[in-house]
Structure 1
Amino acid sequence: MRKFLSTLAMAAAASTILVSTQAYAETANPFKCEPGEKYVMNVMVSGVEYWFPVYEMFKQAGQQFGCETEYTGTPEYDVNKQIATFDQALAQKPAGILVHPMNSDPFIEPINRATDGGTAVVTFAADSPNSKRVSYITSDNVAEGTYAADAVAEAMGGKGEYAVLENPGQDNHDKRISAFVTRMEAKWPDMKLVGRAASNQDPTKAYQAVLSLAQAHPDLGAVFMPEANSAIGAAQAAKEGGGKIRVMLADVNAKILDMIKAGEIFGSVNPNQGMQGYMGFMLLWLAKHPELIDPMNDAKRAGANAMKVPFVDNGFSIVTKDNADDFYWDKYLKRRGTKGIEE
């Protein structure tokens, strides 16, 4: 009887511990959104495929925390129109906004206004460093430009002429171009920069620019651009010129992947967009809940957000013929069984 009662007592104690643990887990888990807690992602040129995997993982992180998420932005390459959509999102009083600021300085006031009003702001892929954004997540744009330069120069035997297409004023694009040119000058002195043109993510402008560059410089061997849309026009111009111009870029979309596989585009450096979105959400959520963090610094005394993390590197991948199939958006969505930006 004594043994039976002892066993019964142990079972009761174990049951009590289990129930208590479950109750604690249900009531004390701080990593959970309140009902109606919403986080928004905001971009320009919202139809560009680059953003879709970013939002896919931003959305997944939100779902795991029990939060609401929304994809917003303007279809135009227009900073004023993007700011208007940012303000529309802000009017919903979201807990936080993950934003890709088209240009740095015009976004200082909107981001500061959002932060002062209690909405956390994290920038991604491009930054507004003089604003009150709490964190910035991106791939290493300098490393991307450097890798692209080495790949192109090595393929050309370290000697030849090249050109670049640009989108002046967009922080991450400017860094990629600057790093590409700087690397060429430092490591490949026999590679000569013969032209620069502003394509502003417009395939038609890129097409015309490469045609003009090739006509002015018959020995042009390569052209680099910091995004995917321009590469479509550049590759078409290179193809019409006999295919001797190597087209190197950053980012991918389905058309770019098709062209890489067909040998019409030399290659691409592609940021790990999914990690950008997932970690972007994590930074944003923690920025909204800094009370969970008690670092050994003067944040409380200074009245600063204890979560402030200046920079997070989400990494990048090199896309070639060998691995292009792993980067198709439609295949990714089918594998995941979701509706992408539509949910």
Structure 2
Amino acid sequence: MTSLVRKLAFATALVAAPFMAVTTASAEGEKYVLVSHAPDSDSWWNTIKNGIALAGEQMGVEVEYRNPPTGDIADMARIIEQATASGPNGIITTLADYDVLSGPIQAAVDSGVDVIIMNTGSPDQARELGALMYVGQPEYDAGYAAGQRAKGDGVTSFLCVNHTIQQPTLAERCQGFADGLGVELGAAMLDSGTDPAEVKNKVLAYLSANPDTDAILTLGPVSADPTILAVEEAGLAGEIYFGTFDLGDEIVKAIKSGTINWGIDQQPFLQAYLPVVILTNYHRYGVLPGNNINSGPGFVTADGLTLVEKFAGEYR
């Protein structure tokens, strides 16, 4: 049964219910669930929540945000299964681990739920699972572009601080950066963990053991914020080349001060906002963009901070 026919058949059966985290009221009856891999502690995802909230309000649909509190991918798989069982018109989900999540996502598609993959995964994986499309940043390509930029600035060696090494997509950022530089990744990728004190201490230890390191690449605020502190403590702020993925309050401050050279903005607001709009218009009017949507990468430097600084952590 197609999603449009299913909507007509079950429209009278949809009843508003309490939702977790972010929800908006629906006048049309559509219900969408966004499932992410993010733990509750990762504030970067507040922008995602703001994106679906605004889209839900503007489109007049219900939107629910669900995530595994600790970031456990197996727990996320169960959440996708639960979301599918609740009978939504669509599911928007990250694909942080294809091996673990492809089964539940495929099952949702097979049951007639329209799915859009966002943030992590790839267009090829989305197509393989039967999802409508992919909205996000091609991670390897973003890392490669960053590596080429750093190479042009004279960087020949680096440390990549990976705070969630079990997620393949983050490793792609490190590998892309190494390939863009034209060097081996090898031991340059540091398994830092997510505890801020541990991240800081591991970065300090690496820099002490490898004093010729030209640059540091962090993969988001979880690793960037404590690395900023490590660089400052080591007396290297403004001296060592420092790039990061994603934005946040501390990252913006560090770009402004010259500690960080640039941040890669994958525009998470669009990753959340656009799928809600696309699904709603698809179900109401049968229209669908013909291509996947790359939301990034875009490089943010000190010269372009006005709007970023104003909306960092909210819409940027």
Compute the TM-score of the two structures, normalised by the length of structure 1. Answer: 0.71
Partners of 2:274 and 2:147 lie apart in 1 by 28
Partners of 1:105 and 1:120 lie apart in 2 by 20
Whether 1:113 and 2:107 are equivalent positions in the alignment is: yes
Determine which structure has more spread, i.e. the larger CA radius of gyration. Answer: 1
Contact in 1 for aligned 2:248/2:312 (Cα 8 Å): no
Name which of 140, 161, 165 aligns with 2:161: 165
The number of equivalent residue pairs is 282
Name which of 86, 94, 98 aligns with 2:88: 94
The residue number in structure 2 matching 1:39 is 32
Whether 1:206 and 2:199 are equivalent positions in the alignment is: yes
Give the superposition deviation at 1:124.
0.7
Contact in 2 for aligned 1:126/1:170 (Cα 8 Å): no
1:235-258 deviation per Cα after TM superposition (whole angstroms, max 9, x unaligned): 221211111333211001112212
Q: State the SS of the aligned residue for 1:40.
A: strand
The residue number in structure 1 matching 2:231 is 238
Describe the shift of the 1:328–1:91 C-alpha distance in structure 2 as closer, same or farther (beyond 3 A). Answer: farther
Contact in 2 for aligned 1:252/1:270 (Cα 8 Å): yes
Partners of 1:215 and 1:111 lie apart in 2 by 44
Q: Structure 1, unaligned stretches of length 5 or more? A: 1-32, 294-306, 337-343
Describe the shift of the 1:240–1:178 C-alpha distance in structure 2 as closer, same or farther (beyond 3 A). Answer: same
The residue number in structure 2 matching 1:52 is 46
AA partner of residue 238 (structure 1): V
* 1:1-343 correspondence runs (5 A): 35-43=28-36, 44-127=38-121, 129=125, 130-155=128-153, 158-166=154-162, 167-185=164-182, 195-243=188-236, 244-285=239-280, 292=286, 311-328=292-309
More strand by share: 1
Partners of 2:306 and 2:75 lie apart in 1 by 35
AA partner of residue 320 (structure 1): T
Identity %: 23
Q: State the SS of the aligned residue for 1:50.
A: helix
Q: State the SS of the aligned residue for 1:76.
A: coil
RMSD: 3.0
Partners of 1:137 and 1:330 lie apart in 2 by 21
